[in-house]
């Protein structure tokens, strides 16, 4: 509980309790003709004086309990602490009543004169002690509950960050290995192309490193990176690997996890035969419902490459962690398609706030 609201609440409880305790006095003053006079001679100034004194006394008892027992902190309160608090509170309440009585006698402070009023003092002290101790105990429980909620939220956030970092740091060496093999071949067979290939490879690696500092990327950035990555792939497969890209510009600023397109393109290349006999065409397009679809014909390789199990599973987990959304996989014996929900940045900002 916020400290400001803690003291606002205790002040409000003190005021309400003071009024309730002296409600018979208020009723007697306001309607002397309609109700039996249970007090001798009672004046409004005396009732007001009693209410103010009771309010200040209760507020003092709240401060005393807060300072001595630390009820404003999210601590574990034992039953013995509550009992001690009650005893201390009732003792100070009695002492304050005596102080007010002596102030009335010595300094002529206005006070209600009534035998009934004097007999009700023990009941009033007991009631005040119950209210003060009970309110402090409840405030302590609320503080403790809020601390538990905050700690759980922090743990979930930390767990989220750890999971995301683990997924983000799972770099597949397959891409780098193939790129270096291609570069070695170009250096040997086409040195003039090797320099350009090296430049594009450095762009791809730079983008990958920059993505380690961010959790999301725009579709525009992903497309720019995909053109670089496509260049690297086509240097390996030449005209045997084709791409058809049709993306609506209105989705350029929509969000998705970094290197999403790289994972999808890599997945298509890795699991399908690409040759002069069977060229592979990968299609990238957006739909009217804000989905990025990447599809390719199913052309199984005769010999399967060993899989690290990172690819689509990694991407699916990152989507779940970042946006609480799921990617869609569909396919048959002819076509395989991955549908990626693009995230509206305005919606994403609202969810974060």
Residues 53 and 114 in one domain: yes
Residues 152 and 228 in one domain: no
| 165-185 per-position pLDDT tens digit | 555 555 555 667 777 888 888
Full-model pTM: 0.53
- CATH number of the domain enclosing 211: 3.30.565.10
**Cβ neighbour number for residue 200 with a 10 Å cutoff:** 17
Phi, psi angles (nearest 5°) of residue 299: -130, 75
**Angle, vertex CA 177, rays to CA 321 and CA 327, nearest 5:** 25
Below-70 pLDDT ranges, the chain: 1, 31-41, 113-119, 155, 157-175, 212, 304-311, 348-353
Q: Which of 107, 137, 165 lies at the terminal end of a domain, its last residue?
A: 165
Per-residue model confidence (pLDDT) at position 209 = 74
Residues 158 and 175 in one domain: no
Per-residue model confidence (pLDDT) at position 175 = 65
| 203-228 per-position pLDDT tens digit | 887 887 777 677 789 999 999 999 99
Q: How far apart are CA 290 and CA 339, in angstroms?
A: 10
Per-residue model confidence (pLDDT) at position 240 = 94
Q: Which of 258, 261, 256, 301 is nearest to 278 (CA)?
A: 301
Q: Which of 106, 137, 165 lies at the terminal end of a domain, its last residue?
A: 165
Boundaries of domain holding 150: 3-165
Phi, psi angles (nearest 5°) of residue 256: -160, 165
Residues 139 and 100 in one domain: yes
Residues 157 and 202 in one domain: no
């Amino acid at each position: 509980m916020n400290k400001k609201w803690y003291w606002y609440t205790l002040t409000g409880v003190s005021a309400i309790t003071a009024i309730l305790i002296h409600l018979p006095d208020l009723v007697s003053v306001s309607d002397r003709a309609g109700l039996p006079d249970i007090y001798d001679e009672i004046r409004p100034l005396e009732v007001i004086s009693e209410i103010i004194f009771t309010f200040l006394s209760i507020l003092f008892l709240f401060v005393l309990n807060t300072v001595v027992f630390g009820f404003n902190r999210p601590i574990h309160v034992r039953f013995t602490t509550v009992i001690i608090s009650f005893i201390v509170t009732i003792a100070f309440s009695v002492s304050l009543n005596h102080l007010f009585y002596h102030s009335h006698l010595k300094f002529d402070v206005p006070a209600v004169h009534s035998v009934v009023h004097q007999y009700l003092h023990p009941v009033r002290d007991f009631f005040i002690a119950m209210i003060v101790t009970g309110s402090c105990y409840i405030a302590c429980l609320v503080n403790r509950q809020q601390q538990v909620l905050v700690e759980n939220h922090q743990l979930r956030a930390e767990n989220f960050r750890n999971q995301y970092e683990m997924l983000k740091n799972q770099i597949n060496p397959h891409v780098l290995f193939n790129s270096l093999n291609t570069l070695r071949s170009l250096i040997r067979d086409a040195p003039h192309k090797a320099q350009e290939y090296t430049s594009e490879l450095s762009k791809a690696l730079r983008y990958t490193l920059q993505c380690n500092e961010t959790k999301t990327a725009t579709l525009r950035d992903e497309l720019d990176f995909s053109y670089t990555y496509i260049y690297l792939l086509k240097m390996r497969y030449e005209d045997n690997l084709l791409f058809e890209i049709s993306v609506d510009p209105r989705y350029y600023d929509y969000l998705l996890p970094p290197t999403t397109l790289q994972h999808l393109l890599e997945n298509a290349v890795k699991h399908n035969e690409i040759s002069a006999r069977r060229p592979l065409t990968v299609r990238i397009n957006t739909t009217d419902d804000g989905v990025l679809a990447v599809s390719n014909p199913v052309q199984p390789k005769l010999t399967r490459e060993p899989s690290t199990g990172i690819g689509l599973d990694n991407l699916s987990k990152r989507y779940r962690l970042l946006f609480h959304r799921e990617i869609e996989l569909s396919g048959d014996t002819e076509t395989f398609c991955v549908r990626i929900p693009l995230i509206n940045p305005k919606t994403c900002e609202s969810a974060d706030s």
